[in-house]
Structure 1
């Protein structure tokens, strides 16, 4: 399977253009002639102005077209446009640059938009969430601008939520620089609002960015501090406070497990399970969901990361109903389950679990890297099911090589 750099420049343009954009469409988008686009895709001619125009129209960096950097797997034209629009909204609002026609939405409307964005996010509809967050940031920034001095705390809180959402979507899309910027602005606005809960939530969000950037010690320090800062007194804690605390200690357990620290992971898991048991049910609050089912399903992935496959399978056997979880949480649990099955050499069961999830939630799945890891663990067995699952996630049966979603029809 060829790597991204193995394709010619013309082939890379054709792949990035994909099925939804014809050569004539790209010509119109760039202001170039169809002949110029054809020559570029045939590797006959590609001037610097043409390169810059094509890169801008396809919402990619020139380094991606030149093969110096691979695009994120399965990121399509619409995805790239969303990330670009989100990036502009994050940076412009942080610099105080608002469109002339920007309208300050009422705080009640902004709170409702926050809930809508979290709903989209936890249903795995990341592209749609990002598309809503961009104008949401502008409306929230305009609201803050119009608030009188001394009456800005609530508007700052909403703006912090919008930045945190932007950071989460960017992190999932692999736009790491944007994720860092957005989560940084979320922290600044939360601190200006003097909202301890939001500051802790942002701290946990930054820890997640660190985790995906392989900055594990820093991620663990942040996650542990965020949980400690909002640890409630169980006898008087509200369900919302327990939700925030439980999700924080659970994430700290995740980070500890990635570092191979079994003792700290076990300690955090114990706190997570105790919090879930105290709650007795799943509760949505502060942009997350937590409860006894969340604590148990997330523990599966932690046990897998620690190499405790038997314990992970025991937990899986104890879980009978995950309907109270969000769609994204159910899908992530399914991936952890498939990974545990693969580690236990239950290859057929692992592929069954993986294929069922990929087919049920294709939009969610195409932004995940774990399916490729699972296929690689299953191996290169020449089975129809392995080939079928590999086709769904765009990798070769052994989990090797780069295969963009559009490559099969573009080349």
Structure 2
């Protein structure tokens, strides 16, 4: 197959005997975007857009997508996080030359204090805190097994953060190092879940499916005896499998994985949300959030809004790992059903909850772009949101 998305798209479309106009009509993707992709004026588009094209052409998404359907980090983002990447690249040093070498307890306490910065998407503070914390964690990892455990946990969080900010190469290094240092398979499964998300963001759907399937099979617990940690780890791997499958037009496989994840959530009987590890939050609400996400991928805004109405609004932490991402689906569903006021209100609510997170979300920019394109005049709130997400108006 040709190496880039545009060439692949053109070849498959021609073999299907479809014109660009016909593909636009069947997929809901504009003729202008299809033309720009095929002519090489655009080298990429959102993975969900590629999926809509693939559905219209009757092929798996992976047949069209190249290595990555989404851009990496912007130059501005790379500059903001340069010190963090430099700390990761610094070779492990000894403690003899340090006047006050770090201690395991001290680094562990510092990491605990930093966890709310991760869960709260407080990027500016993390850019300052992380470099010395990473270097101290490297140092104590040479001393004891407890020090190595602290470093693994920090690398898990940093890998998640770098994936969030689209610094894919550095994220891959972090997560591989965390997996290598994991003390047991359960700890490894938490890292693999983020690895699968990284692969999804890169458009590597087949790899995400294979990795999540392998680890879900290897970690499947006996439900009647499973601990909350075991159910959470297995459930998240199934959610990653479902996310990869639905994006690759394997809807039956996606639904099967969701059903199994639901069984894990039922066995838990509640939303399991450890105070020290927000990435492992899992339960019936989390599964519903991901079911809603799948519905939006399948272009079912009516289902999205119906499911969203059943999700409790209180008592659930608004982190980008769950609820904020879900609210972007809700905003998109409102926009697709021409309820533009509700869409804008939802985006404004996300901005209030996560002001440093929203500007990094290309999805939010696409939603607002759709709203702006459908409106003759823009409200002040729309203009303000457009400035937040970097959308020209």
TM-score range, shorter chain: 0.7 to 0.9
Between the two structures, name the one with larger relative contact order (CA 8 Å, sep ≥ 6): 1
Map of 1:199-238 to 2, 5 A cutoff? 199-238=188-227
Map of 1:161-180 to 2, 5 A cutoff? 161-180=153-172
User: 323, 329, 340: which one pairs with 2:333?
Assistant: 340
Residue 281 of structure 2 aligns to a residue whose secondary structure is: strand
Check the 8 A contact 1:338/1:349 in 2, yes or no: yes
Q: Distance in 1 between matches of 2:352 and 2:313?
A: 20
Check the 8 A contact 2:232/2:272 in 1, yes or no: yes
In structure 1, the gaps of 5 or more residues are 1-68, 398-411
Residue number in structure 2 paired with 1:289: 281
In structure 2, the gaps of 5 or more residues are 1-70
Residue number in structure 2 paired with 1:358: 351
Residue number in structure 1 paired with 2:361: 368
Residue number in structure 2 paired with 1:66: none
Residue number in structure 2 paired with 1:119: 116
Check the 8 A contact 1:294/1:325 in 2, yes or no: no
Residue number in structure 1 paired with 2:83: 85
Q: In the TM superposition, what is the alpha-carbon distance from 1:144 to its structure 2 partner?
A: 2.3
Residues 340 and 74 of structure 1: CA distance in aligned 2, closer, same or farther (over 3 Å): farther
Check the 8 A contact 2:209/2:245 in 1, yes or no: yes
Residue 275 of structure 1 aligns to a residue whose secondary structure is: helix
Residue number in structure 2 paired with 1:140: 137
Q: Distance in 1 between matches of 2:317 and 2:85?
A: 30
**TM-score between both structures, scaled by the size of structure 2:** 0.72
Residues 341 and 103 of structure 1: CA distance in aligned 2, closer, same or farther (over 3 Å): farther
Residue number in structure 2 paired with 1:11: none
Residues 200 and 312 of structure 1: CA distance in aligned 2, closer, same or farther (over 3 Å): same
Check the 8 A contact 2:360/2:389 in 1, yes or no: no
Q: Would you say 1:393 and 2:389 are equivalent positions?
A: yes
Residues 208 and 80 of structure 1: CA distance in aligned 2, closer, same or farther (over 3 Å): same
Q: Distance in 2 between matches of 1:103 and 1:283?
A: 39
Residue number in structure 1 paired with 2:19: none
Residue 327 of structure 1 aligns to a residue whose secondary structure is: coil
Residues 362 and 233 of structure 1: CA distance in aligned 2, closer, same or farther (over 3 Å): same
Residues 171 and 383 of structure 1: CA distance in aligned 2, closer, same or farther (over 3 Å): same
Q: In the TM superposition, what is the alpha-carbon distance from 1:116 to its structure 2 partner?
A: 3.4
Q: Distance in 1 between matches of 2:126 and 2:150?
A: 16
Radius of gyration: which is bigger?
Answer: 1
Residue 273 of structure 2 aligns to a residue whose secondary structure is: strand
User: 376, 380, 384: which one pairs with 2:378?
Assistant: 384
Residue number in structure 2 paired with 1:261: 250
Residue number in structure 1 paired with 2:238: 249
Q: Would you say 1:309 and 2:312 are equivalent positions?
A: no
The C-alpha deviation readout for 1:172-199, integer Å capped at 9, x for no partner, is 2222221122122222222xx4x11122
Map of 1:274-285 to 2, 5 A cutoff? 274-285=263-274
Q: In the TM superposition, what is the alpha-carbon distance from 1:112 to its structure 2 partner?
A: 3.6
Residues 163 and 295 of structure 1: CA distance in aligned 2, closer, same or farther (over 3 Å): same
Residue number in structure 1 paired with 2:312: 320
User: 84, 92, 96: which one pairs with 1:96?
Assistant: 92
Residues 273 and 129 of structure 1: CA distance in aligned 2, closer, same or farther (over 3 Å): farther
Q: In the TM superposition, what is the alpha-carbon distance from 1:337 to its structure 2 partner?
A: 0.7
Check the 8 A contact 1:130/1:169 in 2, yes or no: no
Check the 8 A contact 2:119/2:319 in 1, yes or no: yes
User: 177, 185, 189: which one pairs with 1:196?
Assistant: 185
Check the 8 A contact 1:223/1:252 in 2, yes or no: yes
Residues 222 and 264 of structure 1: CA distance in aligned 2, closer, same or farther (over 3 Å): same
Q: In the TM superposition, what is the alpha-carbon distance from 1:98 to its structure 2 partner?
A: 5.5
Corresponding residue pairs, total: 315
Q: Distance in 2 between matches of 1:127 and 1:96?
A: 26
Residue number in structure 2 paired with 1:331: 324
Residues 320 and 188 of structure 1: CA distance in aligned 2, closer, same or farther (over 3 Å): closer
